[in-house]
Structure 1
Amino acid sequence: MEHGQDMPILTDLREGIWTITLNRPRVLNALTLEMFSLLQEAIARAAAEPAVEVVLLRGAGGNFCSGADLSILGALRDPAQADESLTVINAFLTQLHHMPKPVIALVEGAAVGAGLNLALHADFVIAARDAVLQEPFVQIGLTTDFGGTYLLPRLVGMAQAKRLALLGEKISGSEAERIGLIYKAVDAAEIEQEAQQLISALLRLPRHALAVTKAGLTACLEKNLEQSLAWEKEQQPKLIMHPAFESLVQAKRKRM
């Protein structure tokens, strides 16, 4: 799926990296319902395409995403339209959350509301130190959505989750890293280099082990310790029997 520059979602596959770009820079990449359908298609293709090893999610024009477009907010006023719209959105977010391949979000400029929560569904969020992150829903009489009520307590604990969701404070990329909301904050000029270093590290790792480990970490959020241990007990022997295991161990020993 390759799109022209006037499309709201751009995709590109190079050297195992599937880049998805939110492409409405004039409105800070505000999300429309069409974009969620296109994003769902892009993630489905990335999951199914063997050539894709890492997904990179970013925004055009120096901002990540300002949140939901007013067209979505307007649709939520009608019960039937609200159900249809949120079904599309939730299907995409569920698909993204369970994506078997590593997902990296690059946050520059604004990442607000739905835009912030979209980024937080990635496995790694790299933000510019001066990026602006915010959960402003309650300030306009709404509740945190796009998975925010699920993600925030798990990422930063309940106290910081309430700070972000109930107060709607704007925080910088640096502050987001400090409280554990994101993977890393760097100077804006270094964000591309940091992303490439992370991608290179991921590309050196066995993709089957990444997929299984990612699934286990995701599933553990709904499991108690005993269930997590049982899952690990089931998966680890399978990975040990994988043809790549012995060669990976030998390579590791040579580096020690």
Structure 2
Amino acid sequence: MEQEVQATPLLVKKEEGVCTITLNRPRVLNAMTVEMFALLQTSIAEAADDPEVEVLILRGAGGNFCSGADLTVLTALSEKDEADEALAVINDFIARLHQMPKPVIAVVEGVAVGAGLNLALHADFVIATTDAVLQEPFVQIGLTTDFGGTYLLPQLVGTAWAKRLALLGEKVSGQTAEQIGLIYRAVEPALIEQEVEALVAAVRRLPRQAYAVTKEGLGRCQFNGLEYALAWEKQQQPSLIAHPAFQSLVRAKMKRT
């Protein structure tokens, strides 16, 4: 009997300025292993540093995004040394993903649960199917929210909904997730690829430097008050005004008027 070949658990495809990272363990709904954490760390760092990559897409194989961490991860995290190493890797790639100056899009089909959901929520835009199932079941199994979920949820949906999701573990559909502000958009399953293509085209038309600076500003200023935000904007705006991309857009607009 031929031995079954183990599929690569993470697929990375770069094509025409778009890097797509696909979680590839469809038999277990793309549950993440410690090996995948290391692969995510490498691939996200490379996408951030590659000047040819304009947009990063995260998705899952086989009709699901991700069911969270594999049970083998819980075994690894029960040992202090292994836990410290694995959590350092997780924290590194989550921070890189969250702070990436390039547009990041997560495509959610099927289930996005626990760490899988929080991985997706670090994207700038989450597009889900209307029938997708999103859940934060950590407390139900005796754990606390991870992958930055405790930071993300109150920002995205406010305290009341954050408690419903994180403390009660309520499941929400993609449609409900859009309605409460958890994700960017929910679409019918047959339309999701069309929606992704349209969003990729839209963000690629934007000036890269302006996008990066604005994204950084949204992250920096939200907890530091209006005075900080005004000072930060004052520091950043002159360099963008002097940037060739802005000058070119202004000239083009003036010609049309």
SS in 2 for 1:122: coil
C-alpha displacement of 1:255: 5.7
C-alpha displacement of 1:250: 2.8
- Conserved 8 A contact 1:105-1:122: yes
Aligned-CA RMSD value: 1.4
1:21-170 equivalence runs, <5 A = 21-170=22-171
Relative to structure 1, the CA distance from residue 5 to residue 232 in structure 2 (aligned partners, 3 Å threshold; closer, same or farther) is: farther
Q: Distance in 1 between matches of 2:145 and 2:83?
A: 16
Q: What are the superposed Cα offsets for residues 72-94 of structure 1, whole Å, 9 maximum, x if unpaired?
A: 11122222222221111111111
Give the equivalent residue in structure 2 for 1:11. Answer: 12
Q: What are the superposed Cα offsets for residues 130-153 of structure 1, whole Å, 9 maximum, x if unpaired?
A: 000000000001111110000000
Taking only the aligned residue pairs, the percentage that are identical comes to 70
Q: Distance in 2 between matches of 1:140 and 1:121?
A: 23
- Segments of 4+ in structure 1 off by > 4 A? 253-256
Give the equivalent residue in structure 2 for 1:190. Answer: 191
Give the equivalent residue in structure 2 for 1:178. Answer: 179
Aligned residues, how many?
253
* TM-score (normalised: structure 1): 0.95
Q: What are the superposed Cα offsets for residues 39-82 of structure 1, whole Å, 9 maximum, x if unpaired?
A: 11111111111111000110000000000011111122222222
Match for 2:207: what amino acid?
Answer: P
* TM-score (normalised: structure 2): 0.95
Structure 1: segments with no counterpart, 5+ residues = none
Q: Distance in 2 between matches of 1:197 and 1:241?
A: 30
Q: Distance in 2 between matches of 1:166 and 1:132?
A: 17
Q: Distance in 2 between matches of 1:23 and 1:253?
A: 49
Relative to structure 1, the CA distance from residue 232 to residue 21 in structure 2 (aligned partners, 3 Å threshold; closer, same or farther) is: same
Structure 2: segments with no counterpart, 5+ residues = none
Q: Does 1:205 align with 2:213?
A: no
C-alpha displacement of 1:31: 0.6
Give the equivalent residue in structure 2 for 1:235. Answer: 236
Q: What are the superposed Cα offsets for residues 167-214 of structure 1, whole Å, 9 maximum, x if unpaired?
A: 101100000000000000000110000000000011111111111111
Relative to structure 1, the CA distance from residue 33 to residue 252 in structure 2 (aligned partners, 3 Å threshold; closer, same or farther) is: farther
- Conserved 8 A contact 1:33-1:89: no
